[in-house]
Amino acid sequence: MDQSTTFEAGSFTADGTARQRVTLPATLFDGTVNVPVMHQVVKAFLANQRQANAHTKTRGLVTGGNQKPWKQKGTGRARQGSTRAPHWVGGGTVFGPTNERNYEQKVPRKVRQLGRKSALNARAREGAIYVIDRFTLETPKTATILALVTKLDVAARKVLILTDGQKPAVFLSARNLPNVHVMPYGDASTYHVLWSDVVLIESGALGQPVEEERDEAEAAPAGAAPAKTPRKRAARKTAAADAAETPAAPATEE
């Protein structure tokens, strides 16, 4: 796909009301979909979740077998040294799984970033990315998230909600919904994006203006520069300059 390709996504308020479509950031949504990299990253992610719980005992770990079962010569039978040898019933296991195995796979950071970018671009191609205005939940309420996904007509699909930073109220609100998963935008991996059918991204995570700021921008006249909020550091410098220019009061003699 052409590098100049831009994607648009549907924009909605936190209660599911449709708004004007927005353009996704071109730095991330440029159409790149690298399937081999996504496969490598997802395979490594699943391998890193494995725990080495299966453990078998070798002949040195099996209890018993310290005494020679019969004498070396004179019985007519084959010589045996221990009843815990691998060929005896109840003996040790050869080449069995142990809890010392490490399934970890390391993937370079840039490869992980490329896989995540490819997964987001794949969802953008399908039109499965929605931008949601700021979540203002102060207390957990499952009905709020359920109403949102129902109004977007994605309640029957697997939904991934990416918030702008940690938002425990949103996470707890969706915890009882089996098809909805909530996590911060920065913590989403390639696996999580590909697991979902629809991705809901909070506008602040993508650098998009939130609902109130967007309304002010639409109400401003064409060509007018947006008002900037003075920074605290600049305000402190201005106050210090004013104090330096103010002449000190003359001292009075007693």
Residue 156 region by backbone torsions, left for phi larger than 0, else alpha for psi between -120 and 50, else beta? alpha
Report if pTM > 0.75. no
Condensed to tens digits (0 to 9), the pLDDT of residues 19-65 reads 999 999 988 899 989 999 999 999 999 999 999 999 999 999 999 98
Helix axes 109-125, 35-48, angle to 10 degrees: 120
Quote the tokens at residue 61. 């770990």
pLDDT at 214: 53
pLDDT tens digits along 111-155: 999 999 999 999 999 999 999 998 988 899 999 999 999 999 999
Query: How many whole angstroms separate alpha carbon 42 and alpha carbon 116?
Result: 10
What the block records as the tokens of 74 is: 């004179």
- Strand 18-23 with 159-163, pairing: unpaired
C-alpha 242/C-alpha 249 separation (Å) is 15
Q: With 50 as the cut, is the pLDDT of residue 247 above it?
A: yes
Burial class (CB in 10 A: 0-12, 13-18, 19+), 82: middle
All structural domains of the chain, each given as residue ranges with its CATH number in brackets, are: 8-25+127-211 (3.40.1370.10)
**184 phi and psi angles, rounded to 5 deg:** -60, 150
